Amino acid sequence: IEAVPESWSVAYASDPTEWERKFDECWDDAEKILDKKECSPEHDITYNEMTQLIAQLTRMCQLLMMEVNAQPEPAIGPILDRYFTQQIVERVLDWAIQVPDFLKPTCQLALIRIYELIISESHTQNHCLLVHKPILNPLLRLFEWCQRADGLRPHKLGHPSATEKHFVVLLNQICTKLAEDRTLLHFFFSCTDGADQFIVFSLLIPFLYEQVSIDLNIVAPSHMPCFIFRTM
């Protein structure tokens, strides 16, 4: 994932208004790509459009993390507010689900890595962005989309795909965050057939028995088993 600013400087790093300006510039470019499909459903999304949109979304998320990490206390800053008012990630996911089949694995991988960025770059323990619906809901939808797709097939023969590897890394990152902050737990429970289900653990279980070379320390982090049992 590339760095945010084309012209990094100390002044840029300490100027939130410049972050907002750059964010709006990126969102303007991204929205034009989204609008093309939204206004013309028959439009076939191209590889170039996908890479351009992912690049803009990556920059936007990096700028979001700069804003969040710069705040002394949890708050919804101007950039995070745009994720609420513009429904940015929801719109991107709506768009991504419609990419041609041959682009779906690449698109899924890119979105997974963006969420890796959001979690790994969060340096404030008291403000995890996963508590916000405009960030959390698209993540849960991404999980569902990946489960339905051919890109994630636990127990298949051969080496795991890049999508599978990063999917597991992301789940591990989320487990680590949940272990650090138990208040996040209820965001990852769903009620299925009248029973509570811990979504992250349910997604990880198939990979626990994977016979190929997914790192077992990633699939089953040492803190996860006791963490899971304490929540039941």
Burial class (CB in 10 A: 0-12, 13-18, 19+), 4: buried
Q: Would you say residue 150 has pLDDT above 80?
A: no
Instruction: Work out the pLDDT band at 118, boundaries 50, 70, 90.
Output: very high
DSSP SS3 for 154: coil
What local confidence, expressed as pLDDT, does residue 103 receive?
95
∠ CA 174-177-156, nearest 5°, is 20
Residue position matching structure tokens 């012209």: 7
Q: Would you say residue 116 has pLDDT above 50?
A: yes
Q: Would you say residue 133 has pLDDT above 70?
A: yes
Q: Would you say residue 192 has pLDDT above 70?
A: no
Higher-pLDDT residue of 153, 59: 59
Q: Would you say residue 222 has pLDDT above 70?
A: no
Q: How high does pLDDT run on average in the chain?
A: 82
**Could you give the percent of the chain with pLDDT greater than 90?**
49
Q: Would you say residue 225 has pLDDT above 90?
A: no
Instruction: Work out the pLDDT band at 12, boundaries 50, 70, 90.
Output: low
Burial class (CB in 10 A: 0-12, 13-18, 19+), 188: buried
Q: Which amino acid is at 209?
A: Y
Higher-pLDDT residue of 105, 211: 105
Among 28-37, 118-127, 163-172, 192-201, the range scoring the smallest mean pLDDT is 192-201
Q: Would you say residue 23 has pLDDT above 60?
A: yes
